[in-house]
Amino acid sequence: MTVLPKNIIPCPHSSFRRFGGIIFFLMFLFLLDLAWGSIRIPITDVFNTFLGKGSDEIYSEILINFRLPKAITAILAGSALSVSGLMMQTLFRNPLADPYVLGVSSGASLGAALVMMTTGIIAGSAGSWIVVIAAIAGAALVMMLVVGVSFKVQSAVSLLIVGIMFGTIVSSIVGVLQYFSNPDAIKLFVMWNLGSLSAVTWEHLKILTPIILIGLILTYSLQRRLDGLLLGENYAKGLGISIVQTRIFIVIITSLLSGAVTAFTGPIGFVGIAVPHIARGIFKTASHRILIPASILLGAVLILICDIVSQILAYTLPINTISSLFGAPVIIWIILKRR
Amino acid sequence: MILKPNALMMSGYNQADASAQRIRQAGIPVIYNNEWKETSLLGRAEWIKFVAEFYDKAELADSIFLEIETRYNEMKSKAMHVEKKPGIMAGSNFRGTWYMPAGRSFMSELFRDAGGDYFYQNDAATGSLPLNVETVLKNFSDTDVWLNCSFSTIDELVKTDSKHALFRPVKENRVYNFNKRFLPSTANDFWESAIARPDLLLGDVIAILHPEILPDWELVYASRLSP
Amino acid sequence: MPILSTDSLEIGYAKRKSRNLVQADLNLKLFQGEMVCLIGPNGSGKSTLMRTLSGVQKSLGGKISLDSQDISRFSQKELALMIALVLTDKIEVDNATVRDVVALGQHPYMHWLGGMSEKGKEKINKAIRLAHLEHKKFTFINELSDGEKQRVMIAKALAQDTPLIFLDEPTAHLDLPSRVDIMLLLHKLAHTTGKAILISTHELDLALQAGDRIWLMSENDGIETGVPEDLVLNGTFNQVFQNESYHFNTTNGNFSMNYPLTKKVNLIGDNMRMYWTLRALARIGISVEPDAGTKIEITDKGWTMDKSLYPTIESLLKALA
């Protein structure tokens, strides 16, 4: 009977411990995100406000109508984008795939651009909903095109290329719109494109939250098929997995998650690529049963960190910029560590 | 080039502009107008003299500008010696970013010349400051007047973002936009003629801040937000 | 009763207008407990046949019966319970251990939420044991050698618990010891587990040794099936692999190259060295005839020619050049 060195035998408890650690960290960051900002709100006041005993009107307003929806949006966006990135990386067996690879969020950008640059409606409460609906319509349109193509292509690589091409076409159309628009409209669209968690109000969250929760649950239900795809589509077929059906499920769920987030917050980059790799690095497994919840939690953590950093200064730093600044070194570190 | 003008005047952002070169090649001279580079309101308006040269109306331009300049400086000297300077805020929240005029921008100069107290008036930048909502709340929640708001009614303002209601100008109904004058082509004249008439602009702001200095002034560009 | 049989099977490719028939009138049988090697020159249609038999590609005519039922009546999932595949696809998974990959073989039996029964775990462990991978159970597959990776894929196919296993070029890209290892393993598995194992391979020598039956595919003459030695001795191999540059050498079961032979020597001596000396001489264009002028004698000490003793073949060849 050979004796195996300790670090080769996997300990199931280590996964639990790691999950526990991450959950604690997440809760800590959530509180931090609520407590920190240009206006210093003491922690006691934070708790008082939520317990209904808040005294200062400005503190209450900021906490309840600004920081809380922002923090919840951060968690939803972080988990949705990370899990979409994970699915894209598995489907295309490509470590650089991200949730935007199918062109769905370019579709959302197109919808937003059309509204902002042709009608100039943005100010006003109705305006923001028009932008959201247009963005969702744009995302849905591209999603349907990609689903249609999913039936026809032979391999996943072809689908990847088609998705990227759709994204390119749509981005070009947005470029044309910008060319013909007046500077104010362009400025506003550029701001939209930089991403913003604080753009999401409680009203918006009433729609966004159920969509994301449904998407996350559906993703978890796909865990077995995703595992089957790890060896490639040919082996997956040999295991009895219907490739076309699986592709379509993945496309629809990814589009739902990333399209919905983008419609409300604008594009947020890098979370989708980096977090699945971080999850793999921490849990050292390829099993989606672990990677899906891990990506959900770590995505929320990453975006909360980005949000906390972005509000340290008096000036707002766009979330898209910060997530890229964080994400890129993480990827580089992971790749270097592997070699 | 179909119009066959005698000359083309354009902003001098980029002197090596390709389309400008083509126009020059077609034999049409290109004139660069750099009024946007001016750092003061009067300075911007003074460019009327530049344009007038091409129409041989230099004298007329001179006299028009002299009028504007005199009126402007008169109003300015009255306003700047007022004891109590009301606080001013500007802009509004768009997706979490609130652009406020920087210290050396035209808006800031306007506020200062009109005898207002603007929190960022000593800031050295010339463009806009991208602030977050919390900072704005911290520094402006207790201010007096809100100018250059882009909404039309207080109701809309608050509906779009409930945080807007926390500002005192909203509670006291002292919020103004610059949308009063719309041209037939539905463009906002604030962006058009106000550049040439800083005196009217100044008058508007002074009338809002210190009604006792200009009691009979009728607002030209500014209008108060209706509830 | 064969676990798989074909009846006048036609395989090939059909597009909208054209029909490209690769092979026709195939009547093949696979029995449980046997290892069958599918051999043939490139382009004869081995891959097409493998894909058609595993249900991945449609046949152009005829019938395939799996366990006495027409293959077209099997859904993709049901096929996965009958046939396990080992392909040449490159495996690039991060952070997957040997056990993780072998466990994928149990995929068709698992609940959609990913839970595995005790029976399933047993099958996985058994598969790992049969493939001699126990000591590497928790090693990441990226850290394995190519030969070990291939054994992992075989173990996965075993864990899938199917009556049939199809392998496409299982020894491609492996070094010689691994190739022998794999072919031996597959032969043993067929006999101990009672599965029917079909391998398409270029590994002629090992196939002839390890295969219970050979399916010899030629471009134009269909498929001949039989026990390897029969196919060799009745000249079928020679026919199928006819070529001007080489011929199938019935004596040693290998391909012998047809070097242009311009000189002649007479060679005597009757030990094992004769065979190798013949090969060396053929390479430099010398054939061996009893009536040749030059005489070479093989002795215990070396090769004697013209009263000189050459201790190595190299020195002999130098002298003859």
Residues of A in contact with B143 (CB under 8 A): none
- Cα distance from C43 to chain A (closest Cα, Å)? 21
Q: Which range, of A42-51, B128-137, C264-273, averages the lowest pLDDT? A: A42-51
Chains A and C touch (3+ CB pairs under 8 A): yes
Determine the residue of chain C that is closest to A217 in CA distance: C113
Instruction: Give the pLDDT score at C150.
Output: 92
- Domain contains C61: yes
- Cα distance from A72 to chain C (closest Cα, Å)? 28
User: pLDDT 10s digit of each residue in chain C, 321 long?
Assistant: 899 999 999 998 888 888 888 888 899 999 999 999 999 888 788 989 999 999 888 888 899 999 989 998 999 999 999 999 999 888 888 889 999 999 999 999 987 776 778 889 999 999 999 999 999 999 999 889 888 999 999 999 999 999 999 999 999 888 888 899 999 999 999 999 999 999 999 888 889 889 999 999 988 888 999 998 888 888 888 888 777 888 887 777 778 888 888 888 888 887 788 888 888 888 888 888 888 888 888 888 888 888 889 888 888 888 887
Instruction: Give the pLDDT score at B186.
Output: 57
C-alpha angle with apex C109: C182 to C34, nearest 5 degrees?
35
A238–C84 CB contact, under 8 Å: yes
Determine the residue of chain C that is closest to A290 in CA distance: C114
Give the separation between CA B166 and CA C28, rounded to whole angstroms. 85
Determine the residue of chain B that is closest to A195 in CA distance: B95
C281 shares a domain with C152: no
User: What are B10's strand-pairing partners?
Assistant: B32
Please indicate if any CB of chain A lies within 8 Å of the CB of C253: no
Q: Which chains touch C (3 or more CB pairs under 8 A)?
A: A
Specify the number of domains making up chain C: 2
Q: In chain A, where does DSSP find H-type helix?
A: 12-35, 43-50, 57-62, 68-91, 104-114, 125-152, 156-179, 183-193, 202-221, 223-229, 233-238, 243-265, 271-283, 288-310, 319-338
- Domain contains C257: no
Please indicate if any CB of chain A lies within 8 Å of the CB of C160: yes
What six digits make up the tokens of A49? 């406000």
Q: What is the rounded average pLDDT of the residues B177-195?
A: 71
Q: What is the rounded average pLDDT of the residues A272-279?
A: 92
Q: Is the pLDDT of residue A2 over 50?
A: no
Give the separation between CA B170 and CA C124, rounded to whole angstroms. 71
Q: Which residues contact residue A207 at a Cβ distance below 8 angstroms, ignoring those fewer than 6 apart?
A: none
C269 shares a domain with C196: no
Counting one residue from chain A and one from chain C, the pairs whose CB atoms sit within 8 A come to: 82
Q: In A92-155, where does DSSP find H-type helix?
A: 104-114, 125-152
C112–A221 CB contact, under 8 Å: yes
Residues of B in contact with A314 (CB under 8 A): 131-132, 135
Instruction: Give the pLDDT score at A22.
Output: 95
Give the separation between CA A142 and CA A263, rounded to whole angstroms. 13
Q: What is the pLDDT of residues A310-333, one digit of tens each?
A: 877 767 788 888 888 888 888 788
Please indicate if any CB of chain A lies within 8 Å of the CB of C76: yes
- Cα distance from B213 to chain A (closest Cα, Å)? 34
Q: Which residues contact residue B173 at a Cβ distance below 8 angstroms, ignoring those fewer than 6 apart?
A: B154, B224, B225, B227
Query: Hey, where are the domains in chain A?
Result: 23-338
Determine the residue of chain A that is closest to C159 in CA distance: A239
- Domain contains C9: yes
C112 shares a domain with C150: yes
C281 shares a domain with C316: yes
- Domain contains C249: no
Instruction: Give the pLDDT score at A7.
Output: 40
pTM (predicted TM-score): 0.85
**Domain that includes residue C311, residue range:** 263-320
- Domain contains C256: no
Residue A34 CA to its chain's centroid (Å): 20
C224 shares a domain with C276: no
What six digits make up the tokens of C129? 């044991």
C107–A227 CB contact, under 8 Å: yes
Which of the four pLDDT bands, split at 50, 70 and 90, describes residue A5?
A: very low
Q: Which among C81, C105, C114 is the nearest to A289, CB-wise?
A: C114
Mean pLDDT of chain B: 81
Please indicate if any CB of chain A lies within 8 Å of the CB of B123: no
* CATH H-level, domain A23-338: superfamily: ABC transporter involved in vitamin B12 uptake, BtuC (1.10.3470.10)
Query: Hey, where are the domains in chain B?
Result: 1-33, 87-224
Give the separation between CA A226 and CA C128, rounded to whole angstroms. 23
- Domain contains C117: yes
C202, C204, C210, C212: CA torsion to nearest 10: 90
| Architecture of the domain delimited by B87-224 | 3-Layer(aba) Sandwich (3.40)
Give the separation between CA A73 and CA A262, rounded to whole angstroms. 11
What six digits make up the tokens of A124? 């006003």
Q: Which range, of A117-121, B123-127, C174-178, averages the lowest pLDDT? A: A117-121
**DSSP 8-state secondary structure symbol assigned to residue B153:** B
Q: Which of C243, C275, C300 is the last residue of a domain?
A: C243
DSSP string, C250-302: TTTTEEEE-PPP-EEEEEE--STHHHHHHHHHHHTTEEE-TT-SEEEEE-SS-
User: What are B88's strand-pairing partners?
Assistant: B118, B145
Q: What is the pLDDT of residues A194-227, one digit of tens each?
A: 888 988 889 899 999 999 999 999 999 999 999 9
